[in-house]
Structure 1
Amino acid sequence: MSYIKPIAIYLPQFHPIPENDLWWGKGFTEWTNVTKAQPRFEGHYQPHLPADLGFYDLRLEEARLAQEQLAKDYGIHGFCYYHYWFNGKRILQQPLDRKMRNAKEDLPFLMCWANENWTRTWDGLDKEVLLKQEYDFDDDLVHIQHLISYFRDERYIKVEGKPVFIVYRPNLFPDIQKTISMWRKAVYDAGFPDLYIGYALNGENHFSPQSLSFDFAFEFQPNSINFPATIPYPNTVKDKIFREIKKKLRIKDSEQKCYIDYSAYVSNQIKKEFRDNIYPGITPMWDNCARRKENNFILHDSTPILFKKWLIHIKENYPWNKVPENFLFINAWNEWAEGNHLEPCQKWGTKYLEAIKEMLK
């Protein structure tokens, strides 16, 4: 087995853009929500605040270079940039476009098309749509020609000469097989042997890659597969008082306030079997309270030790000999508003990165 290649999913939403100024207020970035987060119960880790890299602005070369150096120091092979394309309209493209013009930013990279609506609820569903994702075969051809300009870069990650490209939600396409066929031909005509195309495996995209003409999938973590039982928030005196008041006023709670224990989640993931042509995925932590005041999802009590336990299991048990590359997808490098990051925070510092480095030894 050659060495494992960790690929960290990368969110480029840490700089102002006109659209976010309009929708969320002048100067909005991902940090806006991060700094507003508050604990929901005793022992709840919020807010997640950055340590080593600070509240960076991804328009700055210094910030991007610092990220890449940190990733290299701890064995991250490359970043998987979220790519936003709405029938030719691009959003949040500045960090990657600036990298493309800067030879000093030499960390390998690939792209994942986050092909869902932008909505006010941050879930891609059809509720108060800000940017609608529509599909058109003519647009598919324009899109792939645009992507080929990135594929030609020597830093772009390839498998046997084939550029790696990921679709986040393939189930939304009217005919994904036709789209993939068109893309493969365009990439071949551009001089590549083929496209190495995959998708994010989660609860809604739980099918085999070959059934829809994909080459691979990767486990997008966390997902709704193999969830352990939820645990109600611990009750405080304040909670009990509010509950009694609501009961007297006949007010129902708008949500069920529960979390999932990270240790139980890891145990369930370790028990499941790996599947053919599906690369392993892992998450260090998850808590999207900063983005969602209600109906949030919390993996509570994550620790670097538990994360390392999961990493070691993947290293020792995944059938690496059945895939052409040794990719391990980590969600995420910097999803701060989802409480999901390898970048150092004020609580854990570099401990999660250290777990990766130790696993790679």
Structure 2
Amino acid sequence: MRPAKVLVTGATGFIGSRLCELLSLEYRIPYRALVRDYSRAARIARLDPELAGGDMSDPGSLARAVEGCDAVVNLAHGDDQGARKQTMQLVEACTRAGVRRLVHVSSMAVHGPAPGTEVLTEANAPVRRWGEAYSDAKAAAEAVVAAAGRRGAIETVVLRPTIVYGPYSFFVTPIVQDARNGFVSLVDGGSGICNAVYVDDVCEAILAALERDDANGGAFLINGDDRMTWRGFITTFAGMVEGEKRIFDHTLEQIEAHRRATTPRARDSVAAAVRLAASPAFHAQLATIPPVGRMIRGTKELLSGAIGPERKLMIKSRFQGRRFAAPVDVAPSPRMPSEGRVVREAYRCWVSNGLAKSRLGWAPAHPFALGAQRTADWMRFARLI
């Protein structure tokens, strides 16, 4: 059943903004967009939608936002700690307002940071606590929605997208930025499986979840059909940037060694405290307090008379490190991959979209070649390439 009016939360985000565009321009379904920060709403404001100022942490604004809506698409995810409570408040607002259906857009991350099945499916992939903040937050929020559906408070559909790309995607723009700097950065040779799905295909799955009566109570993985590696994904977008590029392959062993080397130790904290104590800027701040300033000046005068200039320079060099070191020309290099990126790009399994195809009547309409081409069209418009 096509909804009469939809509330979209997370409307200014990557997927939410594209959904609003399609609701206005193609689907022609009336909607209201929940907006926390109007400075981020420029992309959807040009569509002249109904905007409702509010916040997922404010029950009053949620109650006002859902009024008159018979369906809600929840794309909001603030901080991990507040995800469960905010989802509970949204469900309560929906049930009080008589909303018929809630489509909750979750993530494949509910199956853990690195599921280990041969082909991931809804039937054999558990949803539980993993000890990883984002995965646990997504799982907790999803559990709230599922419980509301089981007790009959509201119709619910849960969607679990994989790697969503397209215009404005934060999976694409860092690749292009690296390429503009002359780099292509890979994790473990780019041999991991990239479960990429184009953003419009995710929006089509949301529309199907809103309309299909037999989708009620279901949870569906939303993935594209192309079984490709991260090397293929990254080099496709990097190749859209003109000029020669160096490939930097960060092996898992190198990444782990870097992590160990950069993890702060107790002695590092002590050394940082000593450098701060010896810092002229810190002394200047302390000197604004008259008694402390007099003490610092007296101490410096006493030491100045007791040690020679060479000794002074040695002490300053030791405490202030590179401050007195001669500048060294270092060739630019890409940043070490973040932990989240390593987890994503070292993943070796393809995620099945079979259940979504059979029960939602949905299928991805954008092979990767087409999705990449449309993303490139936007990047040219945005002067990124």
* Bigger helix fraction: 2
Which structure is richer in relative contact order (CA contacts within 8 A, separation 6 or more)?
Answer: 1
Which structure has the larger Rg? 2
Instruction: Answer whether TM exceeds 0.5 for this pair.
Output: no
* Bigger strand fraction: 1
Tell me the TM-score normalised to structure 2 length. 0.27
